[in-house]
Amino acid sequence: MEFTFSRIMEQVKPSEIRELLKYASQPGMISLGGGMPNPGSFAVEEIREIADYVLENYGALALQYGNTGGYDELRKQLAIFLGEMEDIKTDARNIIVTTGSQQALYSVGKILVNQGDFVITESPTYIGAISAFRACGIRMEGIPMDEQGMKTDMLQASLEKHRSQGIMPRFIYVIPNFQNPSGYTMSLERRKHIIDLSEEFDVPIVEDNPYGHVRFSGTHLPNIKTLARDNRVIYLGTFSKIMSPGLRIGFVSADESVVGKINLLKQGLELSGSTLTEFIAAEYLKRGIMKRKIPEVARMYGKKRNLMLKALEDYFPDWATWSKPEGGMFVWATLNEKINTSKMIARAIENKVTYISGASFYPEEPRYDSMRLNFTFPSDEDIPIAIQRLAAVVEKEAKAIEVSR
């Protein structure tokens, strides 16, 4: 038989990243696509020891169904972690464990937004947020960014316009630290401004902070959640970048009413997450491995960022620009508007290098002049080679366009 699919699935498109993963494994290919942590950052031996300890001592519990909200000890440890590392005063009751922060994104979309309503995001923004919100049937309005993060004066103008029309966004979604894909970090001033706007217009903030711990230069800025005067910030965290994405440990710290609704939804989505990986993550925190590993990971990625920035200086054309992230995983390189990076990708693959074209990251009308370059996954040796290969593709593309005019 021919299956008829629901209307909402018409809006859900295959992600270019997932498609590109096929090429990433071709021999000789260097991938600057994906958003994968370096496997060298995984504390494999410690995790192995912990898995063994957990199964030896808690086998019957760690293999059984768990709480929908997450293993109690993990939520307790998360509250301590958020207090110590993020200056977020929270409590196990205000925390729910999610299957990666991807599930948290889908959940906030689902519990706070009616199908057809809209939210505000940065533009460009995280591709996973776009796919989660699309799967929820949510429209998005993107607010442009510069090196200080989302342009909050434009956010203000937008909110004023919407208020005058009587239809408000259901939340404002931001990634303040080393944003994906731009690498930009929101300034302290704008963090404060966004809180003021949230209060004035009564719109909650969803703060996504997957990379905040991975800072290799500059000064730590307080989270929006920390700066907020009340419960209006829903904070999303994950261990995918600092411990292991394969365990799928994400979490939300928020008002109890929000946590309660996510819990209800999660019962329908998956009943509960993996008890085994939750036990492992709790023990990892308890043993203090997380705290010890984070600076190591930051050092490893800082070196890779430096290698990529140097290679861009060395090989990329003068007229290209790129972000200089103080942390995280990505550089955002912008070429000339005449170059379509979505089309150029075929040539890059021929030249044994991949990236994600900028168009994937726009919540509304895409721009085609940028690309996201990941520096955490490739080896130190491969980074300059990849950039050199990519630069050759860019130069050729630029010439071809000159010729065809």
Contact 195, 229 (CB under 8 A): yes
Q: What DSSP line would sit under 57-113, residue for residue?
A: HHHHHHTS---TT--HHHHHHHHHHHHHHH-----GGGEEEEEHHHHHHHHHHHHH-
Please state the closest distance from residue 205 (CB atom) to a second copy, in A: 10
Nearer to a second copy, 23 or 324 (CB): 23
We find the least distance from the C-beta atom of residue 37 to a second copy, in angstroms, to be 8
Containing 190, the helix (H) or strand (E) segment is: helix 188-201
Q: Which is nearer to a second copy, 246 or 295 (CB)?
A: 246
DSSP per-residue letters across 256-272: HHHHHHHHHHHHHHTSS
CB of 249 to a second copy, least distance (A): 9
Nearer to a second copy, 51 or 392 (CB): 51
CB of 403 to a second copy, least distance (A): 39
In the complex with a second copy, the residue whose CB is nearer, 69 or 325, is 69
DSSP per residue, 294-324: HHHHHHHHHHHHHHHHHHHHHHS-TT-EE--
Q: Which is nearer to a second copy, 2 or 402 (CB)?
A: 2
Amino acid residing at 336:
N
Q: Which one, 47 or 383, has the nearer CB to a second copy? A: 47
Nearest distance from C-beta of residue 5 to a second copy, angstroms: 6
Helix (H) or strand (E) holding 163, with range, is helix 152-165
Q: Which of 133, 132, 138 is nearest to 115 (CA)?
A: 138
Retrieve residue 167's tokens. 């239809």
Least distance to a second copy, CB of residue 245, Å: 5
Tokens found for residue 243: 């411990």
Burial class (CB in 10 A: 0-12, 13-18, 19+), 366: middle
Nearer to a second copy, 81 or 171 (CB): 171
Q: Residue 169 CB, nearest distance to a second copy (Å)? A: 12
Residue 40 structure tokens:
């060298």
State which amino acid sits at residue 271.
Answer: L
